[in-house]
Amino acid sequence: MKDIKPLKSWDIVRDTPIAIAGPCSAETEEQLMETCRQIKENIDITMLRAGIWKPRTRPGSFEGVGEVGLQWFKNVKEELGMPITTEVANAEHVELALKYDVDVLWIGARSTVNPFTVQEIADALKGVDIPVIVKNPLNPDLALWMGAIERIYNAGITQVAALHRGFSSFEKTKYRNIPMWKLPIALKTELPNIPLLCDPSHIGGTRDLILPVSQKAMDLDYDGLMIEVHRNPEEAWSDASQQVTPQRLAEILNEVKIKKRKLDGDPIEENKLSDLRGKIDRIDREIIEALASRMDVVEEIGGYKRDNNLTVFQAERWIDVFQKRPGLASELGLSKTFIEQMFKLIHDESIRLQTKIVNTERAE
């Protein structure tokens, strides 16, 4: 997918990083228009968003106003002269959104999780030149997210972006949806050309988390943000706790610090960064060589256990390692949690190697 277009080449994008903002749901024509007017009055953003259809967890909740909302949104677009985007969840939604001149479509997390749904949307988009944003699936499944992007791309859409909105979990945290930042980083590793956006409203779930989550995304070199905004968030018909006022939106976007991707041609500073990266490369090699030496010893231990009919896993030894290594890490100023996680991986690989040795030799 090397011909996926960078965000700067999208027709509706003037500059990056981009900002997309608007109400979670279009509730009334007056609410939608007034919210969008206030957004434009307070800050210059890339495009306006609004939910027309709302997939809800349980029946009886507000599920969107439907097609009439698209007419309201088209009126907003014409009056304010700004691009608009909304979520589509089936082929009919796609057809209606195109009918009312929606500029960008997005596929929600509940749709991304279902390949049949994504394929239906992709089929409806064949022959259409419109940007599409694909949110991550509800569960942390990189292949599922990539598959949805590939289906849209295979329909002929080269203006496609990924949107990170966090992942559902039974675990109770301060977030509504756990960020799991390593997943979007892994996506970017697999698809280097894909523009990557962040939805801090759905990750945070509360207004006070939108700024720190937005800053984290910018620190990780995301290409933009999508933030939910309502003229009076407390009266919102859906997701009231995570929406901000247009005035607060302006404050957030002005407070977020945008980091440079590269130095501005300063050869001295560029050489310094290159030297530091060279040190990291050398240290990484030493770490890998040390791990290789450790695994050589692990194999010897596996042979010893085989010859003496000892169990591969010995809890006392693991407890001893697990207790002592984090303590040493603390003495050296390292994170105990990081070292615990690292040695858990090393231990798992050690058990795998020893088990292989024992089983192979016994089979002979």
Domains along the chain with CATH numbers: 7-255 (3.20.20.70), 267-363 (1.20.59.10)
Q: What average pLDDT does this structure show over 219-239? A: 96
Is the predicted pLDDT of residue 364 greater than 50, yes or no?
no
Q: Under DSSP, is residue 290 helix (H, G, I), strand (E, B) or coil? A: helix
Q: Under DSSP, is residue 310 helix (H, G, I), strand (E, B) or coil? A: coil
Dihedral angle, C-alpha 279, 280, 286, 287, nearest 10 °: 160
Contacts of 255 (CB under 8 A, 6+ apart): 211
pLDDT digits (tens, 9 = 90+) for 40-99: 999 999 999 999 998 776 777 788 899 999 999 999 999 999 999 999 999 999 999 999
End-to-end CA distance of the chain: 47
Longest dimension (CA), the chain: 82
Q: What average pLDDT does this structure show over 248-265? A: 86
| 357 vs 155: CA distance, rounded Å | 49
pLDDT digits (tens, 9 = 90+) for 286-328: 999 999 999 999 999 999 999 999 888 888 888 888 788 888 8
Q: What pLDDT does 288 receive?
A: 95
Q: Under DSSP, is residue 99 helix (H, G, I), strand (E, B) or coil? A: helix
Q: What average pLDDT does this structure show over 13-29? A: 96
pLDDT digits (tens, 9 = 90+) for 148-190: 999 999 999 999 999 999 999 888 899 999 999 999 999 999 9
Q: What pLDDT does 326 receive?
A: 85
Contacts of 240 (CB under 8 A, 6+ apart): 230, 233, 234
Q: What pLDDT does 265 receive?
A: 64
Q: Under DSSP, is residue 108 helix (H, G, I), strand (E, B) or coil? A: coil
Contacts of 9 (CB under 8 A, 6+ apart): none
Q: What pLDDT does 284 receive?
A: 94
pLDDT digits (tens, 9 = 90+) for 98-116: 999 999 999 999 999 999 9
Q: Which residue shows structure tokens 């006392």?
A: 316
Is the predicted pLDDT of residue 260 greater than 80, yes or no?
no
Going 10 to 190 to 221 to 202, the CA torsion angle's sign is positive
| 228 vs 21: CA distance, rounded Å | 6
